[in-house]
Amino acid sequence: MVTKDDATTAWIRRYHPSGGSTVRLICFPHAGGSASFFHPVSARFSPDADVVALQYPGRQDRRREPCIEDIGVLADLLVEEIQALSDKPTVFFGHSMGAVLAFETAFRLEQQGVKRPHSLIASGRRAPSTRRDEQVHKRDANGIISELRLLNGTDSAVFGDDELLRMALPAIRGDYRAIETYTCEPGRKVRCPITVLTGDADPKTTLEEAIAWRPHTEGWFQVKVFPGGHFFLADHQAEVNNEIARELEAARSAGQSAPAGR
């Protein structure tokens, strides 16, 4: 089954469909996040790029579906969805949990030799090989809310609406369980280049932990540091978009000289 270039599915969200584009950006949301987080990114890069925002089960219109609490299982399912897309040079962009999920998805696609990304942008997340003893998913509701406030990544309107918060908490808890129980196989790396974006005051990622992404790629590598915390990209969207634009242009140029997906 092939997903058309202008199609939206349960997993694939296109807020500004652009079937005639020659390059693709696939966006992986953070823990508790949804595809709509990337609506501004879609608006910025469409119609020149086919911007695909992924919608995981357990949130928004998929809230009645069980949340997938295992990064490997979720990556396997995303591989199936991405394989159904048309061949276009592709850049992966993932924030926080989404960065690890993008890495695991890229690894699987490279192993299968199909639809592998041209490059990966890992935002707001320490390297897959680094470890911290984090147990947020085991906290009660108030404990999880405190974590969200610390990271400042949830719309303040959600905190003021008990019903919205109750609807969101199961997915948030499930995502935290997925990322906090994730372990990276020793030596796992991808061939595609990796750009790491990090905030200089992010409580979840030190500069050393950001640099630790380096052994996870056989390709070109760089780290960009921005002022701010875990959601630094909210205050530096223009600069983050510039990084995305550079990667998309590099993918487009590469696609003109080699078959897409290689």
Active-site amino acid positions: 96
Q: Is the pLDDT assigned to residue 153 strictly greater than 80?
A: no
Q: Is the pLDDT of residue 226 over 70?
A: yes
pLDDT digits (tens, 9 = 90+) for 227-246: 999 999 989 999 999 999 99
Q: What is the pTM of this model?
A: 0.93
The arrangement of strands across the sheet holding 119-123 comes to: 12-13, 50-54, 24-28, 90-95, 119-123, 194-199, 221-226
Report the alpha-carbon distance of residue 67 to residue 89 in Å, rounded.
Answer: 30
Tokens of 53: 């925002």
Q: How far is CA 212 from the centre of its chain?
A: 18
DSSP 80: H
Q: Of how many residues is the chain composed?
A: 262
Give the Cβ contact number of residue 223 at 10 Å: 16
DSSP line for 121-173: EEES---TT------GGGS-HHHHHHHHHHHT-S-HHHHT-HHHHHHHHHHHH
Residues sharing a CB contact under 8 Å with residue 255, sequence separation 6 or more, in sequence order: 22, 23, 88, 89, 118
pLDDT bracket for residue 145 (50, 70, 90): confident
What distance in Å separates the CA atoms of residue 31 and residue 29, rounded to the nearest whole number?
7
Domain limits, the chain: 12-255
Banded model confidence at residue 157, pLDDT cuts 50, 70, 90: very low
Beta-bridge mates of residue 54: 12
Say which residues have a Cβ less than 8 Å from residue 10's Cβ, sequence separation at least 6: 55, 57, 62
SS3 of 72, please? helix
pLDDT category of residue 19 using cuts at 50, 70 and 90:
confident
pLDDT band at 256 (very low <50, low <70, confident <90, very high): low
Question: At residue 224, what is the residue type?
Answer: K
Q: Is the pLDDT confidence value at 140 over 90?
A: no
188 or 1, greater pLDDT: 188
Domain 12-255 has CATH 3.40.50.1820: yes
Q: Where are the alpha helices (DSSP H) in the chain?
A: 39-45, 71-83, 97-112, 141-151, 156-159, 162-180, 207-211, 237-255
Q: pLDDT class for 261, splitting at 50, 70, 90?
A: very low
CB 92 within 8 A of CB 24: no
pLDDT tens by residue, 111-137: 999 999 999 999 999 999 999 888 878
